[in-house]
Amino acid sequence: MNYAEILTRLGIGEADLAGGSLAVRTPIDGSEIAKVPELAPEKMADVIATSKAAFKKWRMVPAPRRGELVRLLGEELRAAKDDLGQLVTLEAGKIFQEGLGEVQEMIDICDFAVGLSRQLYGLTIASERPGHRMQETWHPIGPVGIISAFNFPVAVWSWNAALALVCGNPVIWKPSEKTPLTALACQKILEKAIARFGDDAPAGLSQVVIGGAALGEALVTSEDVPVISATGSTRMGRIVGPKVAERFGRSILELGGNNAMIVSPTADLEMAVRAIVFSAVGTAGQRCTTLRRLFVHDSVYDQLIPRLVKAYAGVPAGNPLEQGVLMGPLIDSDSFDRMQGSLAAAKETGATVHGGARQLEDKFPNGYYVTPAIVEMKSQEQVMKDETFAPILYVMRYSDLDDAIDMQNDVPQGLSSCIFSTDVRETEAFLSDAGSDCGIANVNIGPSGAEIGGAFGGEKETGGGRESGSDAWKAYMRRATNTINYSRELPLAQGIKFDID
């Protein structure tokens, strides 16, 4: 495939890459596909000033009109779906079907946000004072900083940008240094939509900044960026969260996941196997919602695990752009090394490891392809509690559902979870106050592949943030409570008397 042709069709030309210093390598074979210019950290002040100026104009554009821009963005994404999906595969290494799915997720959130632009509802509140009325109103808040990770290089931006834009805010996007080309492509696609939208869109409504940690520091610490949405590791969140909180900013954190599935005695095992393989192997185990821990009831363990081991052995790995491939490479050698370190630590506990070795090294000497690993554990050791961003599935037996739920919850992360069962008492217990402590809790589907209609995010070390659907839009706006006195009197709340002669 001629990678340059994809970039050209997406609007990325030589001028966009001139003077580039950041090497972009495809995980498919490790080759360099471009060099991208980086922004000097001292230039971030100019970027933020431009965004502030854009905010003053954009906040005055009626919300339904702002929604029209996002509708046009959705149209442009539909037109560019195949090319952008291929670029996602090229840069992040996920299979082409997943690349297409990620772009479809962008289209879906645009559709959601267009409707939302006419539904930024407040409340009417009863007042205790006669002749008074109370209401709650929502207003644009200001520039929104978006920091995204390599594994979903475009969808996470769209979750934030689509909502931020209809809510009246400009956006500043710092993508992962591993996937800057997809960010440049999205900016070009949005610029096409803006050109069709017209003069209501101010300059600087959306800006992409590419660089390292110092650039992120300048964005995170700026008091002129009231909202920072950051997706990445828990380690990153421990840095970003306090810095934003120190200046009384608002952070939306989407951090680590260590997601589990419980397979009960009544589970449909055929469905469970399919869900397990997709959830644990998809994106080569590099989703925040990847299935990492599996708790299987004693009565079905010996039926399920051999079927899983057989299914894992048959997962076709290779160039993720090729049809029929279900698993592409890890993002880089560091990810491979972390995977091997976790498998070694598991073996030291007495675990039985199936798979996990490097493969296709002869064909892709600089690509890090692995066989997915199933690790049969005797107990939930520390290695299970630490998230490893790789296709490792830790498996354990259980005999009591309460114990399985306790083990599921006994990790620092709290993103996604699920149970496979046809017993309504078990499924309701799993979803109850005493059940899963995760932000996402599913029944008879895996933990991976969330739809945009629900709020996405998790608890504990996952950061507590929510993005995408439901009422996640409220994080991108400021709330005001208004009291209107339409009487000729001035009664005080709580019946207080304060008379002046």
Annotated catalytic residues are 254
Torsion sign over Cα 227, 230, 236, 238: positive
Exposure letters 194-222 (e unless 16+ CB within 10 A, then b): beebeebbbebbbbbbbbeeebbebbbbb
Count Cβ atoms within 10 A of the Cβ of residue 466 and give its class: 0-12 exposed, 13-18 middle, 19 or more buried. buried
Q: Which residues contact 414 (CB under 8 A, 6 or more apart)?
A: 437, 438, 439, 458, 459, 460, 461, 462
Report how far residue 416's alpha carbon sits from residue 289's, in angstroms, rounded to the nearest whole number: 6
Handedness of CA 229, 155, 210, 186 (dihedral sign): negative
Spell out the alpha helix ranges (H) of 368-473.
382-385, 401-409, 424-431
Residue 136 C-alpha from the chain's centroid: 30
Q: How far is CA 123 from the centre of its chain?
A: 30
In angstroms, rounded to a whole number, what is the distance separating the alpha carbons of residues 478 and 11?
A: 36
Pairing of strands 392-398, 291-297: parallel
Helical H segments across 167-286, by residue range: 180-197, 213-220, 234-246, 269-281
Please name which of 415, 390, 375 lies closest in space to residue 285, comparing C-alpha atoms.
390
